[in-house]
Amino acid sequence: MARLVDIHPVDPQARAVGQVVAALRDGALVAYPTDSGYALGCRVGQHDGTERIRQIRRLDAKHHFTLVCCDFAQLGQLVRLDNSAFRAIKAVTPGPYTFILPATSEVPRRLAHPKKKTVGVRIPESRVVHALLRELGEPLLSSTLILPGRAEPMTQAWEVAEELDRQVDVIVDSGDVAAAPTTVVDFSVGYPEVVRAGAGDPTPFE
């Protein structure tokens, strides 16, 4: 049975944040709210957590996992950015965007696309997520919580609990969140290509 942890969306309580991070360090799979719906998250090195996300979402080996970062310093350790990509991404972050870029050696091979060697990265605009990332001190391996057969991510903790109570370890509740998934932009081909239009304005990349 999943543990429910309430975290204030504007002023995250240190104690509650610490409880979630302690669970992550113990290998937990967490359902947490972002600026574009709920996501599933675990530590980058948590192989079991990765497989649990695949099973819940029924993902194949080609799925791009997302490494959620707290800032550009963290993001820059995970992906290779040229100057034009850096400027374009910097202009819209933090925000509801996911960017696909060539992975550096810091990213475990099993998390990168098997052929393209790319990975998704994002810096969300969520005080709860930033509080978790600061306390954790490392990126969070994530995937938007869109269940098989559905088009939009979950947005309410009670709904997550009802559907996934025995499949995740912790559910973070900070009130309702936006339903639209992130806008996904692929920079791996040398220029920006909008793969999915979502909550973020795709216009700067078209």
Count of structural domains within the chain:
1
pLDDT at residue 57, as a whole number: 94
Which of these, 88, 93, 110, 92, lies nearest to 44 by C-alpha position? 110
Rounded Cα distance between 99 and 178, Å, is 19
- Write out pLDDT tens, residues 126-177: 999 999 999 999 999 999 999 998 888 899 999 999 999 999 999 999 998 8
Q: What is the pTM of this model?
A: 0.91
pLDDT at residue 141, as a whole number: 94
Q: Is 23 helix (H, G, I), strand (E, B) or coil?
A: helix
Residue 42 is part of which domain span?
3-205
Which of these, 62, 118, 61, lies nearest to 85 by C-alpha position? 118
pLDDT at residue 157, as a whole number: 95
Residue 108 — very low, low, confident or very high, per pLDDT cuts 50/70/90?
confident
Rounded Cα distance between 3 and 118, Å, is 33
pLDDT at residue 127, as a whole number: 94
| Size of the chain, expressed as the number of residues it contains | 206
The mean pLDDT of 89-109, rounded to a whole number, is 90
pLDDT at residue 16, as a whole number: 97
Q: Is 40 helix (H, G, I), strand (E, B) or coil?
A: strand
- Write out pLDDT tens, residues 38-85: 999 999 988 899 999 999 999 887 777 899 999 988 998 899 999 999
> Which domain CATH number covers 46?
3.90.870.10
